[in-house]
Structure 1
């Protein structure tokens, strides 16, 4: 069973997943421009930004909880450029040091409510550093609105080269890939809401339905109909 809600960290989401024996395999995790802090019964992991679908293991009988940070936020909280974690699942101890990460994991494990304890860890991480650059929020909003990389670079005053460098550090990939990932998420939301695929393609910013189909296949390894 999977559930999610808004987190106390601005722009973040708390999610939980419980896997019982005999349940169907979980759907793959699709690229969304985000990074997650994940607890799984004694382990704390960081899921870096994905450029392709990430298959999850069966994990029978396990409980998972996670904080999905808004695009561009987690690198500031964790002190590591996003591109170093791209398409990776990394132990938190590799980023914060073994002793510090072990104390945090033990605190979550011992808590009566591990989900609330994990959220408290995320809140402390967020409060211990400067908030993410609001310019990065503007980049996400502009690209998600369908503006081109050139237009976004001009709006932010960064220029295309600086925008690319800043995007690598904040999002894990350049603005063109980020725009593509955000467009995928727009298309999925429309299709899951029952919008016909041809209309989904037009409203999400694809050239046509064939373009939508190719892009979904390349980013997820699945058809749009199967994902829906």
Structure 2
């Protein structure tokens, strides 16, 4: 039996994470997190678009995966494709770039003694455009519970010098969905992280800004398809 092994470390690209995984085999569940990944899998480079719901896949025992998880909002700059075009999807990089360009990156990563390090260095060198500062500021403010204050959405748009419609459009391009969905995703993950430390779900719900435990359970199930007790097992 293959035991799952997962490792991650900060990437060279600010805010990004490089990770490796050896799969135990069978079905797996990836929870939405507001991010996008570039994966080396099945002898190809694949882009994992932003998820608004849990992604279910199947892997063979011993399957090895390497990935770079971009900071929220950064992947569209690297890919040249708005995030909403890849919502809830997994797409070969060759479908977004020319075959020669994507193959060049693939060959470089594969030729590296450490594919994770090779992917990390290649992306850091290729992403020479400035980061989407507005997307970073939206993410920072949403993560700090800005939307759960009175007039949250209107206040966020005004603080950024945008109309609500402009804010929504910019969020679609950067994250794949609007600020309200991003808030739901980030709050759910923060709540699950607290629950994994041993806190009871009723306490987690209150601290995380849910009305009660039932509200937390409904939100988790809506975004993942399963209740929090199942995820925590």
TM-fit CA distance, 1:133: 2.4
Matched, 1:215 2:214: no
Residue 19 of structure 2: SS of its match in structure 1?
strand
Q: As a proportion of its length, which structure holds more strand? A: 2
TM-score (norm 1): 0.93
Task: Give the paired residue count.
Answer: 223
Give the SS at the match of 1:65: strand
Q: Which residue is 1:168 aligned to?
A: 172
CA offsets per residue over residues 148-182 of structure 1, 9 Å max, x none? Answer: 22221122121211100000000001111111111
Of residues 155-164 and 210-219 in structure 1, the stretch that sits farther from structure 2 once superposed is: 155-164
User: Do the aligned residues in 2 keep the contact of 1:41 with 1:109 (CA within 8 Å)?
Assistant: no
1:13-72 CA deviation, whole Å, 9 max, x = no partner? Answer: 1110113xxx35364110000000000152000000001111121233321000001111
Asked if structure 1 preserves the Cα contact closer than 8 Å seen for 2:25 and 2:58, the reply is no
Is the CA contact 2:26–2:61 (under 8 Å) kept in the aligned structure 1? no
Q: Is residue 2:145 matched to residue 1:143?
A: no
Matches within 5 A, 1:27-176: 27-127=28-128, 129=129, 131-148=130-147, 149-176=153-180
The separation in 2 between residues aligned to 1:180 and 1:125, in whole angstroms, is: 32
Alpha-carbon distance, 1:188 to partner: 1.1
1:92 Cα deviation after fit? 0.5
Partner of 1:14: 18
Residue aligned with 1:28, SS:
strand
Q: Distance in 2 between matches of 1:125 and 1:171?
A: 21
The Cα shift of 1:227 comes to: 1.2
Distance in 1, Cα, partners of 2:132 & 2:162: 13
Q: Distance in 1 between matches of 2:158 and 2:194?
A: 29
Contact 2:21 2:66 in 1 (8 A): yes
CA distance in structure 2 between the partners assigned to 1:85 and 1:179 by the alignment: 19
Residue 150 of structure 2 aligns with which residue? none
Deviates more, 1:179-188 or 1:55-64: 55-64
Whole-angstrom CA distance in 2 between matches of 1:56 and 1:143: 29
Distance in 2, matches of 1:105 and 1:63, equals 16
Q: Contact 1:83–1:173 (CA<8 Å) still a contact in 2? A: yes
Task: Determine the structure 2 residue equivalent to 1:180.
Answer: 184
Runs of 5+ in structure 1 lacking a partner?
A: none
RMSD of aligned alpha carbons: 1.4
CA distance in 2, matches of 1:26, 1:143: 32
* Conserved 8 A contact 2:26-2:60: no
3-state SS of paired residue (2:127): helix
Length-normalised TM-score, structure 2:
0.91
> Which residue of the partner structure matches residue 227 of structure 1?
231
Task: Give the Cα separation in 2 of the matches to 1:157 and 1:74.
Answer: 23
